[in-house]
Structure 1
Amino acid sequence: MARPEIPVTLSSSSIFSLPPQHVFGMAEDLGYDGVEIMVTQNRWTHDPTKLDELAQRHSMPIHAVHAPTLLFTQQVWGSAWTKVARSADLARELGADIVVVHPPFRWQGSYALDFADGIRDIMDATGVIIAVENMYPWRVRGAEIQMYLPDYNPIPQDYDYVTWDFSHAATAKMDSLAAIKLLGSRLAHVHLTDGSGSGTADEHLLPGYGHQRVTESLRYIAASDYDGAVCMEVSTRGQKYPGHREEMLAESLAFARKYLARNTPSEGEQ
């Protein structure tokens, strides 16, 4: 029996310079299968009614919600646990499968101490999967600074579910293919992007433009029993002319479709 193809969704952070409602029309026009909404200071990202109306209008389901657990969203939705809980409630109201969260910052002591158990409690209460995203060490003058507790690498941690981001892996100088193999069934969500790994920047390059083993990783995922989505989370801030952003996102989608294809017939079946 043919297995279902893996959905490829578009993160609202990929068009961060535009209001989040633009992601739905762009995803529809380019042929994506859904969207991921990053909760930010923009009120549209807080409102399930408005988001659901957009999803219905454009026939673009919201597959994931990215909780406001970044540095630039520290003022959104109050305390750390409130951010996670409200994100899970929002995802449940929208019918989204996944909430993406970052690991705790080092100054969030009590939150970090109970993090794994706390997200399990919220998952049990809401029925929403919470997948902790891999991050990377911060470096100053060549020295690493521990910004996340217990670590930026989720693989050895007691997390039931993980989101894997190729750009973060590049910055951390990690091998994504090896990591994905180690994660196995704990891999619940993927941020498709790339990175050169040559500096300290989190680049979010288009897939195939960096040095991560993205092609091999996608083929491995396609051959596995993975039943989540792959979300395009790339930077389009370097657009050079009108329509360039759309070209970048269309190229990235074609890349994902090519290497995630599951049911392509063999030569003898064509």
Structure 2
Amino acid sequence: MTQIGMGTTSVLPRRLRDAFRLAAEAGFDGVEVMITSDRDTHDAARLAALSQEYGMPVLSIHAPVLLFSSYVFGRNPLVKLRRSVALAEAVGATTVVAHPPYRWQRRSAERFVETVRQLSRQTGMRIAVENMFPVTRGGIEHDPFAPSWNPGALAVDALTLDFSHAGMSGRSAADLAQEWGSRLQHVHLCDAASTRPGGTLRDEHLVPGRGAQPVAEVLRALAGSGFAGHIIAEINTRACGRDDDQRVAWLRETVEFARSHALVRH
């Protein structure tokens, strides 16, 4: 059964407790926890306590891959992934979201696919590799990720589709979803202003329906295919500042958008 969750990144710079509270208030089914330098995000006991307090299960764990979490769980991306899987097991999550390593992390990149497949077999955890994006310098496109920014090119079983990253890559999320087929098993729900070649270098994470990506089309197609993964709202609410009324309004708009399209069976 598809569950509609909220990513804790949707309420940054608010704290973890706020994320669980706002997810419950906005009507989500659960949360995806992004592991950051905030120690609470990698404390299984703390996550379990918040989950019980707000009735919000931890659906998925996002490995610490962003620049502000460079030293969380060590420097090695594969060690970070293993520890993220262990945390997911401890809190009852069924999915771990991972990014491909950066190209300069050559040794980890060479072993990334093998490690993902091995961990999945050993633990039964769904490790869903997320689409990233190329960058263009001087009119030449470069891929900063290895083996590829497009996880559809990798021999892994589960993929995460991020609509904002699709916009940055100049691709339609509908094209990526069709290309990936049944391997698309996790969604980061948001929108992006661009689908043109070259995309945009702004990782916008707009409220779905406010951009140019075919978000409703993709969700309806997934519903028709019997998709049973998680759909996680990952929108940028920094413009809300400390105005939680506005933030909750955006979150409710997002969850209502998801339910109106993703839960309709054809």
Shorter-chain-normalised TM-score: which range? Answer: over 0.9
CA-to-aligned-CA distance 1:161-194 (integer Å, 9 cap, x gap) = 1000000001101111121122122111000001
The whole-number CA distance in structure 1 between the counterparts of 2:44 and 2:173 is: 34
Partner of 2:250: 248
Give the match for residue 8 of structure 1: 4
Tell which deviates more after alignment, 124-133 or 6-15: 124-133
* Alpha-carbon RMSD: 1.5
**Measured at CA, do residues 56 and 220 of structure 1 come closer, stay the same or move farther in structure 2, by a change above 3 Å?**
same
Question: Does 2:100 match 1:129?
Answer: no
Aligned to 2:201: 200
Q: Distance in 1 between matches of 2:254 and 2:56?
A: 18
Deviation at residue 71 of structure 1 after TM alignment: 2.6
- Residues 97-246 of structure 1: matches in 2 within 5 Å? 97-197=94-194, 199-239=200-240, 242=243, 243-246=245-248
Q: Assess if the C-alpha contact under 8 Å between 2:6 and 2:234 holds in 1.
A: yes
Ranges in structure 1 where 5+ consecutive residues have no aligned partner: 265-270
- Cα deviation, 1:78-121, whole Å, max 9, x if unaligned, reads 12111000000000011101000000101111111111111111
Moved more, 37-46 or 21-30: 21-30
CA–CA separation in structure 1 for the residues paired with 2:220 and 2:152:
21
Query: Identity across aligned pairs (percent)?
Result: 38
* Alignment check: 8 A CA contact 1:39 1:45 kept: yes
TM-score (normalizing by structure 2): 0.93
Aligned to 1:268: none
For the Cα contact (< 8 Å) 1:63–1:97, is it kept in 2?
Answer: yes
Q: Does structure 2 retain, via aligned residues, the 8 Å contact 1:104–1:149?
A: yes
Return the alpha-carbon distance in structure 1 between the equivalents of residues 53 and 201 of structure 2.
Answer: 40
Aligned counterpart in structure 2 of residue 62 of structure 1, from 38, 58, 64: 58
- The letter of the residue matching 2:111 is D
Contact 1:139–1:200 (Cα < 8 Å) also in 2: no
Greater Cα shift, 168-177 or 192-201: 192-201
Q: How far apart are 1:240 and its partner, in Å?
A: 6.8
Q: Distance in 2 between matches of 1:51 and 1:142?
A: 45
- May I ask how many residue pairs the two structures share in their alignment? 260
Corresponding residue to 2:19 among 23, 33, 45: 23
Match of 2:34 among 35, 38, 43: 38
Partner of 1:69: helix, strand, or coil?
Answer: coil
The whole-number CA distance in structure 1 between the counterparts of 2:138 and 2:16 is: 36
Structure possessing the higher radius of gyration over alpha carbons: 1
Please tell me the residue identity of whatever aligns with 1:136: F
Q: Residues 34 and 110 from structure 1, CA distance in 2 versus in 1: closer, same or farther, beyond 3 angstroms?
A: same
SS in structure 2 of the partner of residue 238 of structure 1? helix
Where do 5+ consecutive residues of structure 2 fail to align?
none
Alpha-carbon distance between aligned partners in 2 of 1:69 and 1:127, rounded to the nearest angstrom: 22
Q: Deviations over 1:129-152 (max 9, x none)?
A: 111000011234544332101211
* 1:81 has 2:83 as partner: no
Instruction: Give the letter for the 2:146 counterpart.
Output: L
Matching residue within 45, 67, 71 for 1:71: 67
Partner AA of 2:259 in structure 1:
R
8 Å contact kept, 1:163–1:188: yes
Are 1:48 and 2:44 matched, yes or no? Answer: yes
| Contact 1:21 1:44 (8 Å CA) reproduced | no
Question: Deviating runs (4+, > 6 A) in structure 1?
Answer: none
Instruction: Output the TM-score relative to the length of structure 1.
Output: 0.92
Task: Measure, in 1, the Cα distance between the counterparts of 2:265 and 2:126.
Answer: 27
